[in-house]
């Protein structure tokens, strides 16, 4: 028994010893995979991983030079080359192909570039916008600019209508395309938060605004005007007519004093009221006059048709049919008259757009863009709505009713014959409208002979509902 016990203990000790010496085998028949030791990447490998693939570099374009835009001197005419303008601004002028100055530009630019206060009698289509924009941009580009916060404009341009504001901003951005200047539009009727956001994003150099919306942002401290050293007032006479002068006074009281700023005022007429404002806002201003009537006489063919009230519509429709490939603006004195005429043209099958003060802002902008893009051939407008329209390529202006104010006649026909192009202004002298002709002739300094429309213009309309009322 002792031997059996010793043998049993020996076998157990042998098993225990064997289990300690031999490694345990995996329960499965598959051999364990060998684990490779991890090694740290070298510094060169790490840099290679961090290094991004290099993008092919675009060849650097040479800086634009004024020699790329040669304009030959012409005796008796001034070129933009003749003024000491910054190269970036001249680049924009070259893109727009502005070669020679208009009379108002030739007269006003020297004093404006010297920083003098300017009072210019100039109507639409004379190139007046380029006077204050070129002078303003030149001064801003030549100034050493300190760091500024958003909402602190260096220059301010105010105008009476939204359409005029949008046109000035469009012209501004085209001229300043190659500069770092930032221009922002501020006008009422739409985009309140969007405009406020644009002002708050980053510093603005130039604000182009209507008085009401500008003062609204000033009251909410979105805009502060005490750093504005250049003030431009466009269409000052219309500001008076529309009752904006109290707002303009409030604006001017918030900018730099007149002794520390440059003020440029442009007006189609410089009457006693405008002169009174000038005496308060300017210091030794230079008076410039470029007769808008002379511009109209030189570039616009003016035709006066003697018609009855019933014939006006027939002549208008036949005129539109004859000029179906052109853009035509038709003016009336009253909003109600414009609306009736618009509806009647639609029923006659003529694609026309209506632009009056009752049309919401978004629709006004949409209709103007369609007219600008030649998707609509005829625009019916009143004086207030049409005053700020600056669209090149309008071939005809029709005074469906002659205006009571001679100045409005000049502004109306100034929609055509722009930028040196020719245009035609047709006016209907009916039983009522003929009484306004003498005042218009006295204002423009020339007679306007009346003529009878030819047979083609008087032929009966093919599409006309005889039961409709005459406009």
4-19 pLDDT, tens digit per residue, is 655 665 676 566 555 5
Does residue 300 sit in the same domain as residue 286? no
Does residue 272 sit in the same domain as residue 150? yes
227, 154 contact by CB (below 8 A): yes
Q: What letter would DSSP give residue 63?
A: P
Which residues is 120 bridged to in the sheet? 266, 288
Does residue 234 sit in the same domain as residue 154? yes
Does residue 283 sit in the same domain as residue 337? no
410: nearest Cα among 297, 326, 319: 297
Count of beta carbons in the 10 Å neighbourhood of residue 133 = 23
Please indicate, yes or no, if residue 17 is contained in any of the structural domains: no
Q: What is the pLDDT, as a whole number, of residue 87?
A: 94
Q: What is the pLDDT, as a whole number, of residue 296?
A: 52
Average pLDDT over residues 396-403: 93
Please indicate, yes or no, if residue 464 is contained in any of the structural domains: no
Q: What is the pLDDT, as a whole number, of residue 4?
A: 64
| pLDDT tens per residue across span 86-125 | 999 999 999 999 999 988 899 999 999 999 999 998 876 7
Of 290, 315, 341, the last residue of a domain is 290
Please indicate, yes or no, if residue 20 is contained in any of the structural domains: no
Does residue 312 sit in the same domain as residue 235? no
Question: For residue 226, with 0-12 CB atoms within 10 Å meaning exposed, 13-18 middle and 19 or more buried, which class applies?
Answer: exposed
Between 104-108, 124-128, 463-467, the lowest mean confidence (pLDDT) is in: 463-467
Please indicate, yes or no, if residue 27 is contained in any of the structural domains: no
266, 235 contact by CB (below 8 A): yes
Does residue 91 sit in the same domain as residue 220? yes
Q: What is the pLDDT, as a whole number, of residue 467?
A: 42
**Residue 462 above 90 pLDDT?**
no
Q: What is the pLDDT, as a whole number, of residue 466?
A: 44
Does residue 246 sit in the same domain as residue 394? no
Q: What is the pLDDT, as a whole number, of residue 406?
A: 85
Please indicate, yes or no, if residue 470 is contained in any of the structural domains: no
Question: Which single residue is written with the structure tokens 């245009």?
Answer: 423
Find the domain containing 301 and state its range. 294-458
Q: What is the pLDDT, as a whole number, of residue 244?
A: 87
Crossing angle of helices 292-299 and 406-413, in 10° steps, is: 50
Instruction: Give 270's pLDDT tier (boundaries 50, 70, 90).
Output: confident
Q: What is the pLDDT, as a whole number, of residue 405?
A: 85
Q: Where is pLDDT greater, at 374 or 229?
A: 229
Kindly state the tokens that stand for 415. 């929609």
Does residue 262 sit in the same domain as residue 400? no
Of 258, 290, 322, the last residue of a domain is 290
Q: What is the pLDDT, as a whole number, of residue 468?
A: 44
Q: What is the pLDDT, as a whole number, of residue 471?
A: 45
Does residue 191 sit in the same domain as residue 118? yes
Question: For residue 443, with 0-12 CB atoms within 10 Å meaning exposed, 13-18 middle and 19 or more buried, which class applies?
Answer: middle
Q: What is the pLDDT, as a whole number, of residue 217?
A: 95
**Residue 255 above 70 pLDDT?**
yes
Please indicate, yes or no, if residue 244 is contained in any of the structural domains: yes
Of 266, 290, 314, the last residue of a domain is 290
Average pLDDT over residues 365-377: 85
Q: What is the pLDDT, as a whole number, of residue 59?
A: 63
Average pLDDT over residues 342-367: 86
| pTM higher than 0.75 | no
Domains held by the chain: number: 2
Q: What is the pLDDT, as a whole number, of residue 469?
A: 45
CATH number at residue 226: 3.40.50.300
Averaged pLDDT score across all residues of the chain: 83
CA distance 324 to 350: 10
| pLDDT tens per residue across span 35-88 | 455 556 666 666 656 565 566 666 666 788 888 899 999 888 899 999 999 999
Instruction: Give 26's pLDDT tier (boundaries 50, 70, 90).
Output: very low
Does residue 235 sit in the same domain as residue 348? no
Helix (H) or strand (E) holding 5, with range, is helix 2-21
CA distance 429 to 443: 17
Q: Where is pLDDT greater, at 361 or 265?
A: 265
413: nearest Cα among 126, 210, 162, 154: 126
**Residue 465 above 80 pLDDT?**
no
Does residue 261 sit in the same domain as residue 351? no
Does residue 330 sit in the same domain as residue 209? no
Please indicate, yes or no, if residue 11 is contained in any of the structural domains: no
Please indicate, yes or no, if residue 335 is contained in any of the structural domains: yes
Kindly state the tokens that stand for 349. 């099958």
Q: What is the pLDDT, as a whole number, of residue 44?
A: 62
Between 70-74, 87-91, 241-245, 252-256, the lowest mean confidence (pLDDT) is in: 241-245
**Residue 140 above 90 pLDDT?**
yes
């Amino acid at each position: 028994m002792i031997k059996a016990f010793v043998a049993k203990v020996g076998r157990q000790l042998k098993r225990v010893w064997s289990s300690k010496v031999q490694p345990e085998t995996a329960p499965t028949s598959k051999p364990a995979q060998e684990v490779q030791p991890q090694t740290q990447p070298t510094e060169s490998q790490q840099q290679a991983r961090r290094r991004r693939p290099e993008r092919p570099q675009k060849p650097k374009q040479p800086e634009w030079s004024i020699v790329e835009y040669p304009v030959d001197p012409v005796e008796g005419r001034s070129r933009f080359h003749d003024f000491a303008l910054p190269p970036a601004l001249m680049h924009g002028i070259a893109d727009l192909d502005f070669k020679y100055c208009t009379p108002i530009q030739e007269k006003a630019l020297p004093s404006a570039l010297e920083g003098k206060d300017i009072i210019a009698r100039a109507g639409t289509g004379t190139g007046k916008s380029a006077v204050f924009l070129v002078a303003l941009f030149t001064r801003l580009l030549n100034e050493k600019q300190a760091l500024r916060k958003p909402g602190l404009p260096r220059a301010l341009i105010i105008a009476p209508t939204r359409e005029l504001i949008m046109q000035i901003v469009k012209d501004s951005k085209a001229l300043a395309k190659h500069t770092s200047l930032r221009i922002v539009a501020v006008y009422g009727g739409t985009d309140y938060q969007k405009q406020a956001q644009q002002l708050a994003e980053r510093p603005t150099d130039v604000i182009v605004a209507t008085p009401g919306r500008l003062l609204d942002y000033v009251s909410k401290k979105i805009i502060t005007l005490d750093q504005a050293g250049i003030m431009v007032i466009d269409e000052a006479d219309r500001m008076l007519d529309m009752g904006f002068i109290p707002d303009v006074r409030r604006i001017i009281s918030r900018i730099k004093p007149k002794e520390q700023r440059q003020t440029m005022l442009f007006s189609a007429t410089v009457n006693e009221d405008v002169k009174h404002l000038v005496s308060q806002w300017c210091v030794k201003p230079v008076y410039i006059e470029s007769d808008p009537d002379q511009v109209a006489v030189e570039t616009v063919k003016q035709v006066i048709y003697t018609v009855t009230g019933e014939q006006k519509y027939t002549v208008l429709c036949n005129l539109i049919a004859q000029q179906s490939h052109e853009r035509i603006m038709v003016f009336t004195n009253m909003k109600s008259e414009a609306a009736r005429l618009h509806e009647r043209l639609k029923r006659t099958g003529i694609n026309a757009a209506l632009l009056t003060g009752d049309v919401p802002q978004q629709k006004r902008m949409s209709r103007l863009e369609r007219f600008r893009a030649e998707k609509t051939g005829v625009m019916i407008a009143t004086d207030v709505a049409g005053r700020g329209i600056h669209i090149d390529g309008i071939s005809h202006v029709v005074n469906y009713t002659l205006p009571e104010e001679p100045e409005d006649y000049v502004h109306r026909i100034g929609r055509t014959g722009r930028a040196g192009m020719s245009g035609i202004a047709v006016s209907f002298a009916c039983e009522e409208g003929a009484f306004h002709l003498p005042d218009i002739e006295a204002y423009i300094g020339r007679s306007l002979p009346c003529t009878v429309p030819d047979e083609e213009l008087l032929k009966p309309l093919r599409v006309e509902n005889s039961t409709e009322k005459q406009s």
